[in-house]
Structure 1
């Protein structure tokens, strides 16, 4: 038995000004770009990834593994066509050699030049060289967006049930349980699905709480009890200006139980639609949030700038929140990482112990939103320089190596600032502890994130304050110039209804 494995992940924010090149797909590879073959396999083994679950199954079956590519990028702007073509060609070439199953660890919200549904296009090409009955297995991020092409060319689809995503290995394992039954019991399966016209807010999506919790719980219960083979609810990624955005439900079932699967699909979609108002996040002014934080007596207080989060395609150099923190006189603060390669270079040349004034951040304009980069002038002392490399020890992507690039720690009037060559959402405390600094020794921890920070920071936080800073990850959907969404869609269009849904109706 032979399987082809590939990990290709990118969440595309089409409003982000940061182009996604082939070299961008370097997260977890310890190289300048993707990893291939045995190197990719070794990097994925024993990590919290769906690919690791695939590898474990292959080992248990004594199956031959061809690991085509490990291409994982920090979320950013549209993927360049050349990068997509290289990645797709690499996967297709591996499949074309012949295999008994194709096992894909994908994101589900990648947009490439010319391909608004990049994963759907990848699966179409795979099917052209590996037609049914070869199983094509796909594990997807909770924020996947669905088109008919992605569904039509897959045999099995499973999605993360958590946000922060701490069940990625388990997602692959769920897919593998179904694959084993298809291979050894010769099950005949089908997929039923629906995408609702709901542009949900990412701060309201998490299955850890309502309105999503009991929708996800119901899906997981149906899967656990064997009513269906797999049941997944996807919050969708709303910051993509493409036609197939929205909350989706995808169910894999035995064909003989298709009616039960369709009934479950209806129930889950009806629950989600009836709570559509609860998936809307109301934005609070930035200054008011900082004022509230200042009044809190005990820390650690986690200050979460969710408007400039590179985990959703933000540029990670918008300085508005840090500027307000300093303006209001908060001290005993640790902040970062802030993406500014130019500042890193200047500070490294100055060296540890040097005190100097720099223009920090604000190097990136965001023309889609009409925002200009505005640097913040900072005077501080360099207290550490690191290579930025660390291994994740927390529950999200456990075991993976990450790199911030060269990183400088700057001390400025009671604020310790981490400045890095590469953007990285801080979902693991390693972004700070690799430099020998315990973030929880500070009263305030200012990070650019949305939900993933909870994986590494929530359990040690006394308070959490969400801050609506400006940027291409804003929760104010009214500022985005959407042109390609399928309309009507809620809440942009109050007249949207379930009749505007797509999929199995």
Structure 2
């Protein structure tokens, strides 16, 4: 090809729990459009190898904080704009679009569309055609259906959890796309794709790559990728908090030689399957009360507790008051001289407004929480002193810290995850000097993990309950581990070769 290839970019990303009563709307995706997308990725700048290797055209990308099901009208609004923008891009070209980067998560659940990523890409294909080569980048907590694997030509995902390789994965997806475009335009064939679904569905808190067996399983991914004739290898854990048939673990390996691709895919599927009994939680677990008792008895400070059932970064509504209600009822924390506790966080727009109006140092009574998810506990009323106020946070909008006894409760206008030390420092809180820090999260993100002297995972209720059987899945394909522990026959872990999107998809082997 004498000219540079032209590659368009689009995608919508979110994890959507079907067990969370909240709904996700278009504004939550905070869309980026056109050149704003190109500026967003440093590896696409004109002073980089990838930036110089193609002409990149942004359509629309959007990333929403995980939550409840995406409203159909919101999906149609964003998908419609993607189609419109891609149509404009294609109509401006003298030749068909060469490539397309599908920038997604993989756990999008839209009202009326269970396999939402496939539905979006199906619509995109009606604009860009089936000769355009598509490369998708995903979260390992996404889902790869037979149909999605067919519509993509290349597909890859993160190899770490917590996800410290997000940028690396997206760059790899683009680099693979450039490589395949170059090969294809010199007369080479498209890569072969081997897909293997694995009947395992586990929460991320049992599959962190910090720990075994996920650590060795994901180490094997890069070893398979290094082999001759292999372009990419990937394992998806799947998304545990949506109840849909596509949700399960999966392996996809792409490459140029059939036997090499099949062997690599089957090795990865087999190591995942045979390790199923070895997956454990990333930390000691207990009820919320048990975790508090152990934290109080420990001399390790700060002691972290994950209030995991309402984790907003996994799809929880963020406003379940179960944990906070129990915390504030404890006699140990009634007086300001008690053990210092930071609780992050609970949404309460009216409470935030009242506290911000009263100002730092004021004492007032406010009610917060359970406006969206009141299935487990009702709103909580607290009397405390306003410790700090912050305006302008991109997620929370406004944050207030209310000191109730010895507990510093972060109250937000909109829900927000607390992952970094600066999230606390900007609120005049020092988690390193606290006795106990309670965060609505699953596994601790890197900064918190490094800060914690010890920690536990509280098995609390909510839309992302770690006790999957308690949630009541009824539409996932069965048998499925750990919902089923006895399999009458071993699962079929042979490689299924998915045809190119240019060829019809056979309905078998789903």
* Separation in 1, partners of 2:246, 2:362: 51
* Separation in 2, partners of 1:491, 1:303: 25
Deviation of the 1:305 alpha carbon: 0.9
**Which residue is equivalent to 1:101?**
99
Deviation of the 1:172 alpha carbon: 1.5
Structure 1 pair 13–428 and aligned structure 2 pair: CA distance change class (3 A): same
Matched-pair contact (CA < 8 Å) for 2:143–2:239: yes
Find 2:239's aligned residue among 231, 237, 240. Answer: 237
Do residues 205 (structure 1) and 207 (structure 2) align? yes
* SS class of match (2:260): helix
**Which residue is equivalent to 1:411?**
403
Matched-pair contact (CA < 8 Å) for 1:290–1:467: no
For normalisation by structure 2, the TM-score amounts to 0.87
Where does the alignment leave 5 or more consecutive residues of structure 2 unmatched? Answer: 91-96, 334-338, 497-508
Find 1:467's aligned residue among 455, 458, 466. Answer: 458
Find 1:35's aligned residue among 19, 32, 35. Answer: 32
* Separation in 2, partners of 1:135, 1:209: 36
* Separation in 2, partners of 1:55, 1:425: 34
Find 2:377's aligned residue among 354, 373, 376. Answer: 373
Matched-pair contact (CA < 8 Å) for 2:348–2:367: no
Matched-pair contact (CA < 8 Å) for 1:104–1:137: yes
Find 2:416's aligned residue among 414, 424, 432. Answer: 424
Deviation of the 1:279 alpha carbon: 3.0
**How do residues 71-150 of structure 1 correspond to structure 2 at under 5 angstroms?**
71-96=62-87, 97-98=89-90, 99-150=97-148
**Which residue is equivalent to 2:426?**
434
Deviation of the 1:132 alpha carbon: 3.2
Deviations 1:457-499 (A, max 9, x none): 1112111121112211111112212232112212212334543
- For the pair shown, the structure with the greater C-alpha radius of gyration is 2
Where does the alignment leave 5 or more consecutive residues of structure 1 unmatched? Answer: 27-33, 390-401
Matched-pair contact (CA < 8 Å) for 1:158–1:232: yes
Deviation of the 1:244 alpha carbon: 0.6
Deviations 1:67-88 (A, max 9, x none): 1113111111111111112222
* Separation in 2, partners of 1:58, 1:52: 6
**Which residue is equivalent to 1:333?**
341
Matched-pair contact (CA < 8 Å) for 2:197–2:248: yes
**Which residue is equivalent to 2:41?**
45
* Separation in 2, partners of 1:153, 1:502: 21
Deviations 1:405-462 (A, max 9, x none): 11111112121121111222222223212224332222221110012x3222111211
* SS class of match (1:310): coil
* Separation in 1, partners of 2:133, 2:46: 13
**Which residue is equivalent to 2:442?**
450
**Cα RMSD after superposing both structures:** 2.3
Do residues 344 (structure 1) and 352 (structure 2) align? yes
* Separation in 2, partners of 1:181, 1:58: 10
* SS class of match (1:231): strand
Structure 1 pair 54–276 and aligned structure 2 pair: CA distance change class (3 A): farther
Deviates most, 129-138 or 307-316: 129-138
**Which residue is equivalent to 1:274?**
274
Deviation of the 1:338 alpha carbon: 1.8
Do residues 69 (structure 1) and 69 (structure 2) align? no
Deviations 1:348-406 (A, max 9, x none): 2222221012223233335xxxx2432233211112211142xxxxxxxxxxxx43211
For normalisation by structure 1, the TM-score amounts to 0.88
* Separation in 2, partners of 1:219, 1:53: 29
Deviation of the 1:201 alpha carbon: 2.8
* Separation in 2, partners of 1:56, 1:128: 32
Aligned pair count reads 473
Matched-pair contact (CA < 8 Å) for 2:270–2:493: no
* Separation in 2, partners of 1:299, 1:233: 36
Structure 1 pair 271–501 and aligned structure 2 pair: CA distance change class (3 A): closer
* Separation in 1, partners of 2:46, 2:136: 11
**Which residue is equivalent to 1:317?**
319
